[in-house]
Amino acid sequence: MKPQPTEDTIEYYKHLSLFWTDLIHLMSSKPQALGSTGPMRAFAANAKKVSTELIEINQNLIGFNEYLTEYYKQLAETWKEAQKKVNLKAPEVPQDVEQLDAFKRIWIDIFDNDFTELFDSKKFGENYGKLVSKELDLTRHWNNITNIILQSVNLPSKEEIDEMYKEMHSLKKRVMKLELEMKKKKTGEQNGQ
């Protein structure tokens, strides 16, 4: 399949960016190692990872914008259709309080019905699911960049913290079950006596 011009352009800039990041890193690594110690050195070594994440964020943004545009398009079209229905049902400008209340009721009922129909539809559900998925991809890249920065200053990454949470959860679960079993056993013994 022939690549799309947009993909060509992205690939070109991705390559260009990585080439220069790599080369500058290679050229500067030795003088940098000599001139800097600790966190700054670690951060310089991770510059390529940050650069890669930023390029991929841009790629994800294209997909995200596509689904976001569709999301607002669906909302705008539903609004337009609902307004047409309101105009048909209540063509006159309300001139007293009763008419105004009736007009408001018609407007709210039609808009709520039409928007609920949209939110219930397969096309909305699918697009919204993909939109959230792309948003999560963007969050993942942001998390990755944050992790690189955390590691460069010798702080635990999200994965390392997660590992700790998992271990704590497993330990708490074991303790809780043991405590419950002990309680049940104690109650059983008391009842037996």
Partner 1 sequence: MASETKIDPKIMDEIIKFNKNVIDAPKLVPAPDEITLEVTPHDVVQKIDKTRLLHYKPLTDKQHKTPLLIAYALINRYHILDLQPQKSWVRNLLQQGFDVYMLDWGAPTAMDKYLDFDDYINGYLDGAVEYIKNESSSEKISLQGYCTGATLATTYTTLHPESIKNYIATAPVIDGWRDTTVISNLAKNMDVEKMVEIIGNMPPEFMYYCFSVLKPFEQGIEKYVNFFKNIDNQKFVDNFLRVEKWLSDTPPIPGELFKQWIKDIYQENLLIQNKMYVNSNHVDLKKIDMPIFTQVAVGDHLVSPECSMPLHYAVGSEDKTLRMYPTGHVGMIASSLSQKKVLPELGQWLLERS
Of 1, 26, 88, 93, which lies in the binding site for partner 1, with binding defined by CB under 8 A?
A: 93
Give φ, ψ of 36 to 5 degrees. -130, 155
Of 9, 58, 69, 116, which lies in the binding site for partner 1, with binding defined by CB under 8 A?
A: 116
DSSP 39-103: HHHHHHHTHHHHHHHHHHHHHHHHHHHHHHHHHHHHHHHHHHHHHHHHHHH--SPP-SHHHHHHH
Taking the least distance from each CB to partner 1, the nearer of 44 and 75 is 75
Return the residue matching tokens 């080369």.
23
Of 162, 171, 182, 188, which lies in the binding site for partner 1, with binding defined by CB under 8 A?
A: 162
119 contributes a contact to partner 1 by CB under 8 A: yes
67 contributes a contact to partner 1 by CB under 8 A: no
Of 30, 91, 165, 193, which lies in the binding site for partner 1, with binding defined by CB under 8 A?
A: 165
**Total number of residues binding partner 1 (CB under 8 A)?**
42
